[in-house]
Amino acid sequence: MARCWLCNDLEKKDEDDVRLGFDFTPVELIRSVGEQGCASCTVILVGLRNAIGHNYLIEQDVRRVYARCRSMRNRKPTTLTLEVYFEKEYPKLELEFFSLQDEAWKAIMPRTCMSGHPLSPEALAWVRSLLDTCISNHTMCRNYVMPRLPKRVLAISPSIWKGVEVKLIENHDISAPYAAFSHCWGNHRTYVTTRATLDDHKNGIEWHRIPKTFQEAIRFSLQLNIRYIWIDSLCIVQDDATDWEVESSKMADIYQHSYLTLAATASAGDSQGCFSDAFNTTHKAVSHLPPEYTNQCPVAVRAPLTHWDTLLPSRLAYDYPLLARAWVFQERILSPRTVHFCGSEIVWECRETCACECGSLGGSTTPGGEFHQVLGRAESGNDNSTADVFPDLINPLKSLVDKQESEVSIHSSDPGSWLLLEQSQERLEKLQWLQSRFETTIQALKQEKEPPELSRQWRKLVEQYSALRITRPTDRLPALAGLCDRTKRLRGDYLAGLWADSIWLDLLWKVDMLQAGQRHTQRSQHQRPTWSWISVEGPVSYWDDIKCLSLGPLSYYSNEDRNITALAVRELRRQPLQLDFDVQHAGRNPFGEVSSAVLMIKSYSRTAILRPRDDQQVDDANIPVKYNVYVEGVSIPFFADYAFNIAQSTSHNRQVVTLLLIHPQIGLVLRPSKWDPKIYQSLSQSFRERLYTYAGSDPSRSGVWERIGISRVSDTLLDLYRLDWMKGAEVSTFCIV
């Protein structure tokens, strides 16, 4: 039987298609139903009328409908979704068809109805079921020892007279399951524990004084029979700097050892509450189709919910403000299991699964799961650190040498070809010399190994974390300290956001797009050290194709090229030679804020010219100027670390900078700086002695350098145009602050 000309019976037209997509007008849909009685089109028509019929006339008001289905999202098949566009300038309407039983009806996949409220029996039963499954079956999520409660925690219990009794307990010796609460502070801290209120809170906290967001988290905990909850603003003394430093450094442990983390993911502050009014609205906005149209399979239609995995960063911060906070990044990764209170539903996330009430979001990949899987493989020695970067390299000159040897052999057998023989032998010797030279490079490349998976994961985490919001720039390191603590035993020295065992690759961060704002000529003091990504305010990224400190195989080569001089041999270029460092911390947290951080790098360097790009006209003082680095008269892309502006007094708006080679294609762009006396005095005595040895004089009087950006020369310039971008480079030692 032929398939429907309009919807193709909700099947892909070709099995290799990514999805099925089709569009239609109301007239075409009605004609398909009337002429051929298509069951799929009938369901679509009935669903449309049920969902929008009370507000619009489909035949008159709807201009066109776009349908899509049969695709995959997080390894889960998507269900039939419609985008409805109207004749008048009404906003488009999205509709989602879903089956209310475990089996699909054609391309209409099983989904569930939302509970309507997190404290409803349905919602609580759903969470309890996932919680029981996780604790019983998920090895990666399991805490094998009942943890002791944090230093301070809220003891909560139902009360006949007070509704809920809340008391801050301290310095106890209790082992019990507890909930940790993750939330946004908002613009106003409505209720916190201070030195003045600490004793009062130990005696009991009046329920009406507790912010709404905290109240709802406490109520939810009690419904799950959890009698202790940790909330940072109430369990850390907020006006005691020492208490804050000590207790905030324990936050990673608190979240990791919690029984359950509750997250006010859609709330921007303490007063908004965890439970949005949209819970009840979304629950009601479901239209059920008569079962006779779908062979008794119960099908319903609703507006699809928006989930965080499909949102741009700007929209993510609006819909899920908690996920845009830097402090929450490690809380989410380290927590064994989290219940997210989103705008319209609850989302469950643990290290082995992710699920939402509506059923659209699903899969086994979660941030916490990925982190702990990589950590587990590294601990067991099963990561891929021994994998070769270039395992299948062969010498492309071998075939030419073999061919030339045959030619020499032919001429050798002909006494009259002595001139051709001499020319052939000369060419063979040159080819053999090139082959030998290239073979050395190939053997060196074959020794290159993939960076350990833990190293690659760290740079991925930096990319994600650096894009998040943080109130105080000095918190950028402390808010990541928990993840550092979990990996230190496998990594070694931690250098203000970078690791010593992968320092050369970790240094290759870049700022892809500068934020609009006031131009300035130097960083503020809190934006140090300049060689670390923590010195910039905004997202950073790494080059995906840089896997080691060697150049890859030759990009431009032709076996048919008979000109020996055109046979470019891509050799191992210069590499950094030596590293030394000294990092001093401002407090007791070994992964927290630093008071000084200095890198001493011995490598190849040369001068270059930094000047504004010719293809821009910038009259607005808030728009950053874009620059290029010029070497040997050739322009090389430059990624500025911040929106600086070359001083107007410099000749022709240009500046001499120094390129410090870190990778054969990449150099840090440096300019001279001065020692901050406080930084110099905080250096360790042994490092100052090493500085003296390198500098050959009093290091406090010698120059230091700061990073202002990074440059990368292209494969095209290196191989096709043979640019020696480090021509005349000298080996020098640079002290970078």
The string of pLDDT tens digits covering residues 40-60 is 999 999 999 998 877 788 989
637 bridge partner residues? 628
How far apart CA 402 and CA 615 sit, in angstroms, is: 50
Q: Which amino acid is at 332?
A: R
3-state SS, one letter per residue, for 482-504: HHHHHHHHHHCCEECCEEHHHHH
Where do the domains of the chain lie?
1-111+279-305, 121-275+309-377, 398-446, 465-736
Q: What is the pLDDT of residue 560?
A: 47
Residue 649: per-residue pLDDT: 39
What is the 3 state secondary structure string of 180-212? EEECCCCCCCCCCCCCCCHHHHHHCECHHHCCH
Its pTM stands at 0.86
pLDDT for 503: 95
pLDDT of 652 reads: 55
Concatenating the DSSP letter of every residue in 35-83 gives HH--HHHHHHHHHHHHHHTTT--HHHHEEEEEEEES-EETTEEPPPEEE
Predicted pLDDT at 712: 95
CA–CA gap between residue 322 and residue 451 (Å, rounded): 33
Tokens coding 721: 């145009």
- Token pair 């941030």 is at which residue? 367
Residue spans of the chain under pLDDT 50: 518-521, 555-569, 647-651
CA angle 623/625/626 to nearest 5° reads 125
Predicted confidence at residue 698, as pLDDT, reads: 63
Task: Report the alpha-carbon distance of residue 297 to residue 103 in Å, rounded.
Answer: 8
* Residue 462 CB contacts under 8 Å (≥ 6 apart), including other chains: 497, 509, 533, 540, 542
Among 553, 471, 453, 548, smallest CA distance to 504 is for 548
> What is each CA distance from 526 to 248, 523, 530, 643, in whole angstroms?
20, 8, 10, 16
Write down the residue that tokens 């007094």 correspond to.
649
pLDDT at 557: 46
444-486 per-position pLDDT tens digit: 777 777 788 999 999 999 999 999 998 888 889 999 999 999 9
Q: Count the Cβ atoms, other than its own, within 10 Å of residue 19.
A: 13
Which of 492, 491, 393 is closest to 442 using CA atoms?
393
Residue 4 per-residue DSSP state: P
Which residues share a beta bridge with 498?
Answer: 495
Q: Give φ, ψ of 616 to 5 degrees.
A: -135, 145
Strands 627-631 and 362-363 turn out to be unpaired
Per-residue model confidence (pLDDT) at position 651 = 46
H/E stretch holding 121: helix 121-137
User: Which residue has tokens 């702990």?
Assistant: 372
Predicted local distance difference test score (pLDDT) of residue 120: 92
From the list 733, 519, 546, 528, the residue with the least C-alpha distance to 647 is 519
In Å, how far are 192, 243, 329, 404, 469 from 238, measured between CA atoms?
7, 8, 21, 80, 20
Model pLDDT, residue 589: 83
Strand, helix or coil for residue 239: coil
